[in-house]
Amino acid sequence: MEKLLQTAMEKAGAAEVFFNSGESTGIAMRNGRVTEVSSSLRSGYALRILSGGRMGVAYTRNLLDREELVRNALASLEGDVAAGYSFPAMAFHPITDTYRPSVEKLGFKDLHDSCLEILGFFEGRTAAQVDVSCWSGTGDTRILNSSGLDARHRYSMFGGGANILFPNTETSISDWFVFSERSPFPREKLERMLELHGMGLPEVEVGAGRMKVLFLPFAMHTISWRLSAAASGASFARKASPLLEKLGEKVASDGFTWYDDPLDRAAVGGCCPFDDEGVPTRKTAIIENGVFRTVFNNLDYASKLDSEPTGHGYRSSSMWGGDPVTTLPSPGLSAPGFEPGSTSFEDMIAGIDRGVILFGVLGAHSGNILNGDFSVGMNPGLLVENGVIRGRVRDGMVSGNIWDALQRVVAVENQVHNPLGGASRYPAILLDGVSVAAKG
């Protein structure tokens, strides 16, 4: 990397070399039988140069010809992509320590045994089909630039989860658990899954109307995608955000705080001391007690908005992710979360006169995301009446606008969870006045 940086500096002056590698292993089981095994290994180098106010880029999977990579980056300057920023100098990067060497030694047998651990908990306690999967992986990122930056971060992950399916469907009660090393799975959460699945076995009708909806962590990207689109520096630079001219103003209920905290070691998949441009990260409140506080950005959009970079330049920051080697940094969140409240999960349910518990969603990408609109299928949703779960709603839909719904935050759960890849930290959130409809 050092030789590549030196070669690029001789041709262009300002240069950055980005290296990323990762490997992962996974196994999936259905009804006790292995249905899938996977193993992947990826690595690559990306070169970014700045010359005459323009940016040039190139990447390779195998650094065999440094001169060619530099020539390709120089040639891309002809694309005339403006660059009004410079690369950051070396700075203090907090130690996040999310790498455990023991994870590299985990093999298929270890993951198989972990799957059996989950299945053993459910054995004899449900007649439902139970799907389980476990995985492990490590990653390594290093950034060098012509301003003297040399930053490196490594991480490790171990995770597993289960789906308890409802009869004759692929709909399930699910949960996933992610750690920085192999760890026992939380039995209290497996117990909750079993209990909620039993309550959801009867199929019930919900009708249509506005009611309370309890968003659980697996459904939270319905909200977070729309929040991220609105608060991104990219949307502000295009003057397309509904939050324009609202910095410092109230945009949600007092009890709602949304932040990004890459220094939280519990956010295993998103914990990192610097972003993909080498800018140090920190806990950043974006909406604090209902007040819009921060437009998050990377180097490029900070320069366009005449502001300071906030440490949110990531190479796979879209809602669909992406290859960090082949994509350019853009504004994104590494470890987003909502501050927990003071209400237990059980008390939140008890406080619902009529509404639904939204475990997961179908079609979170639908609707005008930037404007905050959503229309999603329940996957699944459980009907609650007078604080009691009555059963599972078939073919239900939830719709509305997050900026309208976040004005009516009834309660926020008193603990956070790591859904999906383990990067986010979400409690359940109870919203009132959300539109619900179902067939029948």
Task: Give the model confidence (pLDDT) of 81-133 as tens digits.
Answer: 999 999 999 988 888 888 999 999 999 999 999 999 999 999 999 999 999 99
> pLDDT tens across 375-400, in order?
999 999 999 999 999 999 988 999 99
Q: How confident is residue 320, by pLDDT bands cut at 50, 70 and 90?
A: low
Examine the pLDDT at 321 and tell me if it is beyond 80.
no
Going along the chain from its start, the domains and CATH numbers come out as: 2-196 (3.30.2290.10), 200-440 (no CATH)
d(CA 46, CA 62): 11
The pTM of this model reads: 0.94
Task: Decide: 134 and 19 in contact? Cβ < 8 Å.
Answer: no
d(CA 84, CA 88): 13
Token pair 């658990």 is found at: 177
Residue 79 burial (CB count, 10 A):
10
Going by their DSSP bridges, the two strands 388-393 and 409-412 should be labelled as: unpaired
What are 439's two structure tokens?
Answer: 């067939």
Task: Tell me what the pLDDT averaged over the chain comes to.
Answer: 94
Examine the pLDDT at 76 and tell me if it is beyond 90.
yes
Residue 372 burial (CB count, 10 A):
22
Examine the pLDDT at 304 and tell me if it is beyond 90.
yes
Least confident stretch, 115-129, 149-163, 164-178, 314-328: 314-328
> pLDDT tens across 419-431, in order?
767 789 999 999 9
330: left (phi over 0), alpha (psi -120 to 50) or beta: beta
Task: Decide: 304 and 237 in contact? Cβ < 8 Å.
Answer: yes
DSSP 218: G
> pLDDT tens across 245-291, in order?
999 999 999 999 999 999 999 999 899 999 999 999 999 999 999 99
Q: Which residue has the higher pLDDT, 366 or 233?
A: 233
d(CA 275, CA 376): 32
